[in-house]
C-alpha cells in the first residue's frame, strides 16, 4: 500500500468521533459505521441504523459493512496493509480486530495508536500491543457524491418512555406547591438576623427580641411540617411512578419479537430496567427541586440586587465560571458514564452465566478461567467508574474553590461597605445569607440541568425496550379462533436472518391437512427449527406467507393463533414452582384432573406419583432437580394441558429412553389433532404418517405413508 499523506487544514473546530458501545452481542460493525458516519456529518445512532440494516448473531462481514456504508453515502476502500503503513490511512477508518471484531482507528503516532472499541470504549495501545490484535485489514470510509449531512437519531419524550401513568401530574403539582411554600420560609429567614442586629440590639428592646424569636420559631415549625409532608408526597409519587413505569416496560418487553432477546445479553436487559429507576428518581426529586431552585435563584437575585449590585456581580461571575467548567467536561462525563453502564451490564451477564453454568464450569475445570474473565469485566467496570469519579471530583473541587474564594471576596467587599457606612452590620449578615443561598442553589441548579441532560443517555437505553416495535399481533379478521381449523398452508416461504446472509428457507411450499402427523427431518443446519419458528410466528418471513385454516397468519393475529397451539421447543424451560404449576403453566384456576391426565399422556405420571410430594414437588431454577427426560415429558404435559388443535414438537423426545419414547409416541399418535414433529431419531420418524426431509432450506423429499407402505409425493 502506498499513499502520500497530506496534512488536513481545519479552519473550524475539529470534528468529533463519538464513542458508541455496542448493545447487541454482534453489532460491533454497526457501531463502527455509526461512529465514522457521525464524524463526517451524518449523525446516526444504533437504534436508527438497525432499522435500515439488520445483522444476525453471526455478525457482519467486511463485504456486508461495505454494502451498509454505501447505503449511508460513504465510499469504501478495503486495504490489506502492514503496520508501517498505518499512518497513511485516512482516519477515522475501520479495522478488523482479533479475527472476530471491528474497531475504529482514531489516531496513530510513531509509538501508539488510539482505537474506539465498541466492546470496551476508547483504548490507547502501544504499537507492539496493537499489532497483536490488528489482522492487517482496514476499511477506509469517506463521503461520496451522494453523502448528505443529516441527523438520524431516535427521538423520544419522557412520556413516550413511561407509557400510561396515572396520578403523575397531580402529585408533581402538589410537590411543587409544597416546595414553593417551603422556599418562602427559607427566603424570609435571613431577615431574623438583620432585624435582631439592626433593630432590636441597637434599640436595646428586649420585647422586640422576644417577639422576633417567637415569630421565627413559629416559622421553623411551619417549615418543618411542610418539609415532612413534602417528603411523604415525594415518596408516594416515586413509588407509584416506579411501579407503573416498570409494569408498562415489562409488559412491552414480553411482547417484543424473539430476535430482540437472542441478540442481547441478559445483564444488559436488566441494566436497562435500572435506567428506568434512575430517570424516575431524577423526575420525582431533581426535576421538582430544579424548578424550585430556579424560582429561589430568581427571588434571591432580586433581593441581592436591592442590597448591592456590585456584590451581586461577584457572585454571578463565580456561578458563570462554574457553568462553563461543567459544560466543558460534560461530553467526557457522558461517554464515561455510558462505558460504566455497559461494563456493569457485561459484568452482570458474565456473573449470571457462570452461576447458571456452574456444572459445566466444574466439569471442564474452568473455574479459574471464569473467575479471571469476571475479574476482567469487573476491572473494566471499576476503571469506568474511576473515570466518572475523576471527572466528578474535578467539578466538585472547582465548586469548592470557586465559591469559597467568592465568599471571601464578597465578605471583604461587604465589610468595606460597612466601614464606609453604605451597609449596616445586619444587612451584611442578611446579604451573606442570601448570597450563600444564591450560590448554592444556582450551582445545584446547574448540576441538575447537566444531570437532566445526562438522563438522555439513560433514556436511550430505556427506549431500546419501550420504543422497539412489538411483535405484530393485529387481528384484522372477524373469524373466531375456535372456528379455525388446524390446516396449515405455506406459500413460497423464504427467510434470512440478516440482509447480508443467504436464505435459510428458500421459496418453500407445503400443505399440512387437519389431523395429520408429520415428521420434519434432515441434516443439522438445514432450517428445521427456523421453519418451526416461522410456523409459530416467532420469526417474520422475508417473503411468502403462512395460512391457518385458509386465513393468513397476520390477519388471524398471533394471540388468536397461539390459542390453538401446544409446543415443546428445544430450549424450552421450566419455571421455579411445583410440577403441577409447570404443567398448567401457573394457571390461576388449575384443573387438577386435567393435570393428572396430561401427565399420564406424557408418560410421566408414575414418576411424579413416586416422588414424596407428588405433583407439589418443587422444581428448581430452569428445571434443576429433574432429569432431562423428565423435563421433556413435563414440557409435553404442559403443551397438552392447553388442549391444542396443533401440536408442534422440536426434538421433544431426544432425552428419552426407548421405552418412554415409545410410550410418548403412542400417546401422540392417539391424539386427534394436527402434529408437526422435528426429529432425528428413527423411532419418532417411524410413527409419523408423513415424513418431510429438508435440505438446504427446501423440501428434498415428501413421503406420505399408507397402510400398504410409503408413497413419495415429491
CA dist 19 and 498 (Å) reads 25
Question: Closest Cα partner for 469 from 269, 254, 247, 256?
Answer: 256
| H helix count then E strand count, the chain | 25, 21
Are the C-beta atoms of residues 255 and 438 closer than 8 Å to each other? Answer: no
Strands (E), 513-624: 517-521, 543-548, 551-552, 565-568, 577-578, 618-619
DSSP category for residue 479: -
Q: Which three cell numbers stand for residue 369?
A: 478461567
Q: What are the b/e assignments for 92-123, b being 16+ CB within 10 Å?
A: bbbbbbeeebbbbbbebeeeebbbbbbbbbeb
| CA distances, 609 to each of 580, 596, 612, 682 (Å) | 12, 10, 8, 30
Q: What is the DSSP string of 18-79?
A: ------STT-HHHHHHHHHHHHHTEEE-HHHHHHHS---TT---HHHHHHHHHHTTEEEEEE
Neighbours of 28 (CB within 10 A): 24
Enumerate the β-bridge partners of residue 488: 512, 548
Cell numbers 466543558: residue: 328
Chain mean position to CA 41: 26
Are the C-beta atoms of residues 428 and 418 closer than 8 Å to each other? Answer: yes
3 state DSSP class of 577:
strand
Specify the DSSP element, H or E, that contains 690.
Answer: strand 690-695
**372 CB burial (10 A radius; 0-12, 13-18, 19+):** exposed
Cell numbers 441538575: residue: 448
CA dist 86 and 108 (Å) reads 7
Strands (E), 284-399: none
CA dist 574 and 165 (Å) reads 33
CA dist 582 and 644 (Å) reads 17
Does residue 626 come out as left (phi exceeding 0), alpha (psi in the -120 to 50 range) or beta? beta
Active site residue 28: yes
Strands (E), 110-157: 112-117, 121-126, 134-143, 150-152
Q: What are the b/e assignments for 343-371, b being 16+ CB within 10 Å?
A: bbbbbbbbeebbeeeeeebeeeeeeeebe
Backbone angles phi, psi at 140, to 5 degrees: -80, 140
Are the C-beta atoms of residues 547 and 561 closer than 8 Å to each other? Answer: no
Name every residue whose Cβ is closer than 8 Å to that of residue 195 and which is 6 or more positions away in sequence. Answer: 212, 426
Q: Which residues are annotated as catalytic?
A: 28
Amino acid at each position: 500500500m502506498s499513499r502520500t499523506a497530506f496534512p488536513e487544514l481545519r479552519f473550524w473546530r475539529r470534528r468529533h468521533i463519538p464513542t458508541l458501545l455496542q448493545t447487541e452481542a454482534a453489532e460491533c460493525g454497526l457501531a463502527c459505521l455509526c461512529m465514522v458516519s457521525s464524524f463526517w456529518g451524518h449523525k446516526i445512532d444504533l437504534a436508527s441504523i438497525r432499522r435500515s440494516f439488520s445483522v444476525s448473531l453471526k455478525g457482519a462481514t467486511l463485504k456486508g459493512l461495505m454494502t451498509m456504508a454505501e447505503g449511508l453515502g460513504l465510499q469504501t476502500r478495503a486495504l490489506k496493509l502492514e503496520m508501517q503503513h498505518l499512518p497513511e490511512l485516512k482516519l477515522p477508518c475501520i479495522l478488523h480486530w482479533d479475527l472476530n471484531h471491528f474497531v475504529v482507528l482514531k489516531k496513530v503516532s510513531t509509538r501508539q495508536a488510539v482505537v474506539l472499541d465498541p466492546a470496551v470504549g476508547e483504548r490507547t495501545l502501544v504499537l507492539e500491543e496493537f499489532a497483536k490484535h490488528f489482522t492487517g485489514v482496514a476499511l477506509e470510509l469517506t463521503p461520496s457524491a451522494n453523502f448528505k449531512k443529516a441527523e438520524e437519531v431516535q427521538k423520544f419524550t419522557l412520556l413516550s418512555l413511561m407509557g400510561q401513568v396515572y396520578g403523575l401530574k397531580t402529585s408533581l403539582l402538589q410537590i411543587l406547591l409544597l416546595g414553593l411554600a417551603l422556599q418562602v420560609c427559607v427566603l424570609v429567614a435571613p431577615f431574623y438576623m438583620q432585624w435582631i442586629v439592626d433593630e432590636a440590639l441597637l434599640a436595646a428592646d428586649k420585647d422586640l427580641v422576644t417577639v422576633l424569636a417567637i415569630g421565627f420559631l413559629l416559622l421553623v415549625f411551619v417549615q418543618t411540617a411542610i418539609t415532612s409532608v413534602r417528603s411523604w408526597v415525594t415518596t408516594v409519587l416515586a413509588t407509584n411512578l416506579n411501579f407503573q413505569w416498570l409494569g408498562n416496560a415489562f409488559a412491552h418487553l414480553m411482547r417484543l419479537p424473539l430476535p430482540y432477546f437472542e441478540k442481547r445479553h441478559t445483564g444488559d436487559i436488566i441494566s436497562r430496567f435500572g435506567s428506568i429507576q434512575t430517570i424516575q428518581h431524577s423526575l420525582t426529586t431533581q426535576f421538582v427541586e430544579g424548578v424550585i431552585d430556579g424560582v429561589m435563584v430568581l427571588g434571591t437575585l432580586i433581593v441581592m440586587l436591592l442590597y448591592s449590585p456590585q456584590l451581586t456581580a461577584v457572585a454571578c461571575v463565580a456561578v458563570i465560571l462554574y457553568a462553563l467548567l461543567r459544560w466543558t467536561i460534560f461530553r467526557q462525563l457522558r461517554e464515561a458514564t455510558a462505558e460504566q453502564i455497559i461494563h456493569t451490564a457485561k459484568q452482570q451477564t458474565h456473573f449470571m452465566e457462570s452461576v447458571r453454568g456452574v456444572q459445566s464450569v466444574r466439569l471442564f475445570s474452568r473455574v479459574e478461567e471464569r473467575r479471571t474473565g469476571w475479574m476482567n469485566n469487573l476491572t473494566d467496570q471499576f476503571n469506568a467508574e474511576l473515570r466518572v469519579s475523576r471527572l466528578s471530583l474535578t467539578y466538585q473541587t472547582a465548586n469548592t474553590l470557586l465559591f469559597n474564594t467568592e465568599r471571601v471576596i464578597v465578605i471583604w467587599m461587604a465589610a468595606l461597605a460597612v466601614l464606609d457606612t453604605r451597609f449596616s452590620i445586619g444587612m451584611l449578615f442578611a446579604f451573606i445569607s442570601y448570597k450563600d443561598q444564591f450560590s448554592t442553589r444556582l450551582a445545584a441548579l446547574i448540576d441538575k440541568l447537566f444531570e437532566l441532560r445526562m438522563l438522555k443517555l439513560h433514556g436511550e437505553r430505556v427506549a431500546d425496550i419501550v420504543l422497539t416495535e412489538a411483535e405484530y399481533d393485529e387481528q384484522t379478521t372477524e373469524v373466531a379462533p375456535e372456528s379455525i381449523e388446524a390446516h396449515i398452508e405455506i406459500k413460497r416461504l423464504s427467510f434470512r436472518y440478516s440482509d447480508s446472509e443467504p436464505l435459510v428457507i428458500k421459496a418453500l411450499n407445503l400443505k399440512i391437512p387437519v389431523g395429520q402427523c408429520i415428521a420434519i427431518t434432515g441434516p443439522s443446519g438445514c432450517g428445521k427449527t427456523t421453519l418451526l419458528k416461522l410456523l409459530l410466528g416467532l420469526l417474520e418471513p422475508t417473503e411468502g406467507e403462512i395460512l391457518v385454516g385458509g386465513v393468513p397468519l397476520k390477519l388471524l393475529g398471533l394471540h388468536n393463533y397461539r390459542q390453538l397451539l401446544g409446543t415443546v421447543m428445544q430450549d424450552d424451560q421450566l419455571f421455579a414452582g411445583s410440577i403441577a404449576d409447570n404443567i398448567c403453566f401457573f394457571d390461576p384456576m388449575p384443573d387438577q384432573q386435567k393435570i393428572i391426565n396430561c401427565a399420564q399422556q406424557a408418560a410421566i405420571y408414575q414418576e411424579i406419583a413416586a416422588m414424596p410430594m407428588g405433583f407439589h414437588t418443587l422444581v428448581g431454577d430452569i428445571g434443576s432437580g429433574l432429569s432431562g427426560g423428565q423435563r421433556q415429558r413435563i414440557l409435553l404435559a404442559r403443551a397438552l394441558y392447553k388442549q391444542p388443535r396443533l401440536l408442534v414438537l422440536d426434538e421433544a423426545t431426544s432425552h428419552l429412553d426407548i421405552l418412554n419414547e415409545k410410550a410418548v409416541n403412542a400417546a401422540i399418535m392417539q391424539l386427534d389433532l394436527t402434529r408437526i414433529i422435528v426429529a432425528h431419531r428413527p423411532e419418532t420418524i417411524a410413527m409419523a404418517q408423513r415424513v418431510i426431509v429438508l435440505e438446504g432450506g427446501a423440501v428434498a423429499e415428501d413421503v406420505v405413508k399408507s397402510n400398504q407402505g410409503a408413497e413419495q409425493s415429491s
